[in-house]
Chains A and B, each alone.
Chain A
Amino acid sequence: MSDKALIRARAAELRAFFEKAGAVVAETSLLQPAETLLDLYGEDIRARAYVTSDSLLGEQMLRPDFTVPVVQMHMEHGAEPARYTYSGEVFRRQEEDTRRANEYTQVGYEIFDRDNPAAADAEVFALIQEALSPLDVRVSTGDIGLLKAAVQGLETTERRKAALARHIWRPRRFRSLLDRFAGRVEVPPSREALLAQDEPMQSGVPFIGLRTPAEVSDRIEALREDVGAMPISAGQVELLDALLDVRETLPFALEQLRDIAVDLPAISPAVQSLRDRIEALDKRGVNVDAIEFEGSYGRTNMEYYDGFVFGFYAEGRADLPPLATGGRYDALTRVLGQGNEIPAVGAVIRPEVVLQLEAGA
C-alpha cells in the first residue's frame, strides 16, 4: 500500500473508533470562505493557510482545520448534545520549515454539551488516550481559563485587564505589557511628551483617514488614566508568574494552584473546574498521577482554546509534530454562533504521525 493509502486506512480505523464512542460523521468542504477565518484568526491565518480566489466568490482558503466548519455546521442545525467525528486533509503553508507537511490528515472528535463540561473534557481526553494507548507518549495539559481568570483577578484598571487578556496568546507582548503596568519600565518618552501637552489634539496637522479625532482623543484619555493608575503590585505579578510556572503532575498542580488561589481568589472557580476535571478523568480510568500540567501550556496556539488544553507527544521524538492536540473552545461557538453559544471541546489525531511511530516501534 502507498503511504497515502496507509494513512487513509489508519484514519478510517480511528474514525470508526470515534463513531463507536457515539459520534456522528461530519463532512465539511475543502474550500472555506476566507472572510470567516480571517476575521477569527487575523493575518496569522494567511501565513498558515493557502488562500485561493475566483472572480465570483472572492477569497477562499483550503481548509486549515475542521473545528471552524464543524462548529458552523453545528450552530446552524445541530441537535443538542452532539458528538461529531471527521477525517480528512487539512492544508498548512510551511514557509519556515520544509520538513513539515503542508498537507496532512486529521481525525477529530468534538463534543457540544451544556450539562457537564468536566465530563466532556474527560471524555475527549480519555478517548484520544485510548486511541493512542499502545504508543509511548508524553502528555501535556494546561488551562487557558485559569490564565484568563488570573488576569481578571488582578487589582488594576479594566483597560489593563482587557489589554493583558487580549495578549494571553502572545507571551512576549503580554510580558512587556505586564512590565509596563507593574511600573517596571519607564513610560516611553513620546508618550510622556504627549501627555505633558495641554491641547495634544491641536497638532495643526490635517485629519485624514477613517480613524476619527474622537477616537484619537479617547485613546489620549485612556493613556492619561493609565499613567495615573497604580502599578500592579509586585505581589500580584509574582502570583501570576507562579501560576505560569506551575509544572507538576495534575494532583500536585492542583495543590499549587489552590495555594495561589488563597491570594488570588479570582481563580478559585477555575481551580474548582480543574478539580472537577481531574475527578472526571479519574472516573474514566485515566491515571491522573502520570499527567503533567503546565501553567503556560497552550499559549502559543491559535487563539480559540479558552479552557482545558492538551497535547500528546511522541516520547523522545522532538522531530515529530504532536500525535494529537485538543481543547475547549466555548468562545469560538459564541463568535460563530450569531447570538447562540454552546460549550464545546474537541481534539484531533494525526494518523500519519501515529503510523510513523508504530513503524518505528
Chain B
Amino acid sequence: MTIKLGVPSKGRLMEKTFDWFGERGVSLARTGSDREYAGKVEGVDGVELVLLSAGEIPRELAAGRIHLGVTGTDLVREKLGLWEQQVEVMAELGFGRADLIIAVPQCWVDVDLLDDLDAAAAAFRKEHGFRMRIATKYHRLVRDFLRENGVADYQLVDSQGATEGTIKNMTAEAVADITSTGETLRANHLKILSDGLMLKSQATLFRARRAPLEGNDRKVLETLLETLDL
C-alpha cells in the first residue's frame, strides 16, 4: 500500500521532472545502475517511484495502476477516451512544451488554411484516385480536429517516427505531429498551416481518478500534494 508516482523513465523529461519535484521538497532519484529502472522518493513517506515510458503513463493512470503520473497532455488526450473522467490535471509543469500541428510542403503555395487543405484534398482525390494521406501518430486527435473543422477526403497513415520525412518519401502528402521550434519541419521543407494548431501540450502531473486508495494511502496522497503546494 503505497502511492505510486509514474515518471518518464529517461531523457530530459525525466530530469526536468526530478528537478520540478526537487524544487518543491520531494527528491526523486534513480537507484542502482543507470540501466536499471528503479528509483526512490525522499521527503514524503509511502510514495513509490515507478519509471515508465511516457507513452504508457496515460494507460497506467487510466487503469489505476499508478496514482499520479507525469506525461504530456498530447499523450493523455490521444490515448484516453473521455480523458477528463479518467484523470485530473494537478499541475502543468512548464516544460516539455510542444504544439500538435498540421504541416504541408512549403511548395504548396496555395495552401495556408484548413479551408485550403480541404479544397486541395478534394482535387487530389480526383486526380490520384485516393484520399490525401496525412501521416501521424495522433490518430484520434487529428481525426477529431479535422472533423470539427469540416475537412474531408483525407486519410490518416500511421507514422511512429521520422514523420516529417514521409512526404519526401511519397508515403504521405501532409503530416500532423508535435513540434517545439519548428526546425525539423523547416529542414524538411514543410510549413505549418496558419489555423492548424490542434493542441498546446506540456508535461503535466495527472492524478488517476480510479486508482484505489487503501489504508493510509489517502493520507499519504494528501501529504504529498501539500508538500508540492497543490
For chains A and B in complex, what number of residue pairs have CB atoms within 8 angstroms? 111
CB 8 Å contact bits of B128-152 with A (1 = contact, 0 = none): 1011000000011001101101111
Closest to B113 in A: A188
Residues of B within 8 A of A220 (CB): 109-110
Using known A-B contacts A216-B107, A219-B120, determine if residue A44 contacts B167 with beta carbons closer than 8 Å. no
Closest to A177 in B: B115
Residues of A within 8 A of B108 (CB): 211, 216
CB 8 Å contact bits of A66-94 with B (1 = contact, 0 = none): 00000000000000000000000000000
A163 near B119 (CB under 8 angstroms)? Answer: yes
CB under 8 Å from chain A, chain B span 97-116: 105-113, 115-116
Give Cα A39–Cα B149 distance, bound, in whole angstroms.
20
A167 near B150 (CB under 8 angstroms)? Answer: yes
Residues of A within 8 A of B116 (CB): 191, 219
Using known A-B contacts A96-B81, A173-B150, determine if residue A46 contacts B143 with beta carbons closer than 8 Å. yes
A188 near B115 (CB under 8 angstroms)? Answer: yes
Residues of A in contact, count (CB < 8 Å): 40
A205 near B107 (CB under 8 angstroms)? Answer: yes
Residues of B within 8 A of A170 (CB): 150, 152
Give Cα A321–Cα B124 distance, bound, in whole angstroms.
37
B194 within 8 A of A: yes
A209 near B170 (CB under 8 angstroms)? Answer: yes
CB under 8 Å from chain B, chain A span 7-59: 38-39, 42-44, 46-47
Closest to A43 in B: B143
B109 near A209 (CB under 8 angstroms)? Answer: no
Closest to A218 in B: B123
A318 within 8 A of B: no
Give Cα A222–Cα B126 distance, bound, in whole angstroms.
15
Using known A-B contacts A98-B82, A194-B110, determine if residue A46 contacts B150 with beta carbons closer than 8 Å. no
The one of A39, A96, A167, A190 in contact with B112, judged by C-beta atoms closer than 8 angstroms, is A190
Contact count band on B: 35 or more
Using known A-B contacts A167-B152, A203-B106, determine if residue A42 contacts B113 with beta carbons closer than 8 Å. no
Query: What is the CB-to-nearest-CB distance from A128 to chain B, in angstroms, rounded to a whole number?
Result: 29
B152 near A223 (CB under 8 angstroms)? Answer: no
Give Cα A98–Cα B124 distance, bound, in whole angstroms.
37
B155 within 8 A of A: yes
B206 within 8 A of A: no
B122 within 8 A of A: yes
A200 within 8 A of B: yes
Most chain A CB neighbours (cut-off 10 Å) among B105, B110, B150: B110
A95 within 8 A of B: yes
A208 within 8 A of B: yes
CB under 8 Å from chain B, chain A span 139-197: 163, 166-167, 170, 172-174, 176, 188, 190-191, 194
B168 within 8 A of A: yes
Using known A-B contacts A215-B127, A219-B120, determine if residue A43 contacts B105 with beta carbons closer than 8 Å. no
Closest to A173 in B: B150
Residues of B within 8 A of A223 (CB): 110
B128 near A42 (CB under 8 angstroms)? Answer: no
Residues of A within 8 A of B130 (CB): 39
B124 near A211 (CB under 8 angstroms)? Answer: yes
A to B CB contacts below 8 Å, 20 in the list: A39-B130, A42-B131, A43-B146, A47-B140, A47-B144, A47-B147, A95-B81, A163-B119, A173-B149, A188-B115, A191-B113, A206-B107, A209-B170, A211-B105, A215-B120, A216-B107, A216-B110, A218-B123, A219-B116, A222-B123
Beyond contacts A163-B122, A209-B170, A211-B108: 12 other A-B pairs, Cβ-Cβ < 8 A, are: A44-B147, A46-B143, A96-B81, A98-B82, A166-B122, A173-B118, A191-B113, A194-B112, A200-B110, A208-B107, A209-B168, A211-B173
